[in-house]
Amino acid sequence: MLALVILAGILTGSANAGLPACDLATLQALGYCPEVANPGDSIILDGTQTTSPDPGIFPISRDDWQQIIIDWSPAPPVPDEFTLCLDAWDSGRPCFLPGEDGEEPDEEQDEEAGIPPITITDLARFAPDGSVITGEPDNVGVAGLPTNFVADASVHTVDGELFGFPLAVRFTPSAFDFAFGDGSTATTTTGGETWEALGQAQFTPTDTSHTYAERGTYTAQVDVRYTAKIDLGVGWFPIAGEVTSAGAPQEIRIFEAHTALVAYTCEQAPSSPGC
For residue 96, what are the contacts with CB-CB under 8 A and spacing of at least 6?
82
What's the rounded Cα separation, in Å, for the pair 126 and 104? Answer: 40
Structure confidence by residue, pLDDT tens digits, 110-126:
444 566 788 888 887 88
pLDDT of residue 127: 80
Whether residue 82 lies inside any domain: the answer is: no
Per-residue pLDDT tens over the stretch 33-69: 555 445 555 444 444 555 555 555 545 566 665 565 5
Q: How many domains does the chain have?
A: 2
Q: Quick check: 82 pLDDT over 60?
A: yes
Give the predicted TM-score (pTM) of the model: 0.53
pLDDT band at 170 (very low <50, low <70, confident <90, very high): very high
The residue segments making up the domain with residue 179 are 120-255
CA distance 185 to 49: 103
- In this prediction, residue 257 carries a pLDDT of 74
In a shared domain, residues 56 and 131:
no
Same domain for 143 and 45, yes or no, is no
CA dihedral (78, 82, 83, 89) in degrees, to 10, reads: 140
Domain CATH number, residue 249? 2.60.40.10
182/176 Cα distance (integer angstroms): 18
**CA 136 and chain centroid, separation:** 52
Give a yes or no: residue 183 inside a domain: yes
Residues present in the chain in total: 275
| Domain-located, residue 267 | no
Characterize 232-257 residue by residue with b for buried, 16 or more Cβ atoms within 10 angstroms of its Cβ, and e for exposed. eeeeeeebeebbbbebeebebebeee
Do residue 67 and residue 131 come from a single domain? no
d(CA 253, CA 251): 7
Is residue 28 left, alpha or beta, with left meaning phi > 0 and alpha meaning psi from -120 to 50? alpha
- Report how far residue 33's alpha carbon sits from residue 130's, in angstroms, rounded to the nearest whole number: 110
Q: Is residue 68 located within the same domain as residue 133?
A: no
Beta carbons within 10 angstroms of residue 213's beta carbon: 10
Whether 216 is in a domain gets the answer: yes
Strand stretches in the chain, DSSP E: 2-8, 45-51, 133-136, 140-142, 146-151, 156-162, 165-179, 185-188, 209-211, 216-231, 236-245, 250-255
Is the pLDDT higher at 90 or at 161?
161
Residue type for position 120: I
Q: How far apart (Å, rounded) are the C-alpha atoms in residues 266 and 201?
A: 23
